[in-house]
Amino acid sequence: MGKVKADTVRNLMESTGPTFSKGLGIDLRSSKPGEIFKWFLAAVLFGARISEKLATKTFQVFDREGATSSEKILNKGWNGLVQLLDEGGYARYDFKTATKLLEIAQAVEEQYGGNLNRLHGVASDNADLENRIQSLAKGIGPVTTNIFLREMRGIWEKAEPLPGDLCIAASQNLGLIRKNLRSRRIILAGLKILWKDHGLPEKDFADLEAALVRWGIENRKKKR
């Protein structure tokens, strides 16, 4: 890696916060089913057209009330979930999201015994893994799936999502990859090489992806 790119990666990593899951106090490295479901819940909340601040606040409301497992979400019921979503500031999407969360919880309980690690275990490859996640409920699309799997990379062997739009835009604007690159697979491979050449101690590739996404979000705010 050239010195300019090395400095860019170092400065980016030192100036941005932790991964989104770490910022929520979720320990994905433990691989515990409870922690992984918490992150999936957070990814569903982050996946809507809502600010990171409100999605974070809403997750914290769910966490405070202990509604962070498939079983507890089912116990809350539709009305209880709507109340939690409204308290977090998710009012615009409360009815639809409450229905989606109940459908997710039901599917996870019935198909995987409440343990998303089992979903990963039965997936044949990364494409099947993504399809299984999206089949858990109507409304789980590529954005939510990418948010979730991006930070499961290195934890689940089959979690190998292609970089999302924010990650790509940030990489190009920061000069880490060429602006004329269009193949997400080539972009991912290039970013992995950059990381391999200059990864900060005690960090992994998911930290770089999260940092690029955070940079992309801030850059988008400035443009608006």
Instruction: Tell me the per-residue pLDDT of 166-176, one tens digit each, with 9 for 90 and over.
Output: 999 999 999 99
CA distance 85 to 97: 8
In this prediction, residue 185 has a pLDDT band, given cuts at 50, 70 and 90, of very high
Q: What is the pLDDT of residue 224?
A: 65
Asked if 86 and 121 sit in the same domain, the reply is: yes
Number of structural domains found in the chain? 2
* The token pair that represents 140 in the structure block: 């789980």
Please compute the mean of the pLDDT values over residues 200-214 and round it to a whole number.
89
Same domain, 13 and 25: no
Helix axes 142-150, 205-223, angle to 10 degrees: 130
With respect to residue 157, please indicate whether it lies within any of the assigned structural domains. Answer: no
Residue 41 token pair: 């819940």
CA gap 211, 175 in Å, rounded: 15
**Which range has the worst mean pLDDT, 31-40, 174-183, 194-203?**
194-203
Residue 29, pLDDT > 90, answer: yes
Check residue 138 and give its pLDDT.
94
Share of the chain above pLDDT 90, in %: 78
Residue 84 sits in a domain of what CATH number?
A: 1.10.340.30
pLDDT score recorded for residue 91: 86
CA-nearest of 120, 108, 115, 98 to 48 is 98
The number of beta carbons lying within 10 Å of the beta carbon of residue 141 is: 10
Asked if 13 and 86 sit in the same domain, the reply is no
Amino acid identity, position 70: S
Residues 214 and 139 in one domain: no
Does a structural domain hold residue 139?
yes
Q: Is residue 156 part of a domain?
A: no
Structure tokens at 122: 């039965």
136/167 same-domain check: no
* Average model confidence (pLDDT) across the chain: 93
For residue range 113-137, list pLDDT tens digits in order: 999 999 999 999 999 999 999 999 9
What whole-number percentage of the chain has pLDDT above 70?
Answer: 98
CB 81 within 8 A of CB 98: yes
Residue 167: half-sphere exposure toward Cβ, Cα within 13 Å = 23
**pLDDT at residue 9, rounded to an integer:** 87
Q: How confident is the model at residue 198 (pLDDT cuts 50, 70, 90)?
A: confident
State whether 31 and 71 are in the same domain: yes
pLDDT of amino acid 2: 65
Last residue of a domain, one of 118, 150, 182: 150
Q: How many CB atoms lie within 10 A of CB 50?
A: 18
203 and 124, same structural domain?
no
pLDDT, one tens digit per residue, over 140-165 is 999 999 999 999 999 999 999 999 99
Based on the fold, state whether residues 12 and 31 are members of the same structural domain: no
Same domain, 92 and 199: no
- Looking at the predicted structure, is the pLDDT value of residue 25 above 80? yes
Could you tell me if 39 and 139 lie in one domain?
yes
Domain hosting residue 209, numbered range:
3-17+163-223
Residue 190 lies in a domain: yes
- Alpha-carbon distance of 120 to 142, in angstroms, equals 17
The band of 10, judged by pLDDT with boundaries at 50, 70 and 90, is confident
Among residues 150, 181, 206, which one ends one of the domains? 150
pLDDT class of 58 with cuts at 50, 70, 90 = very high
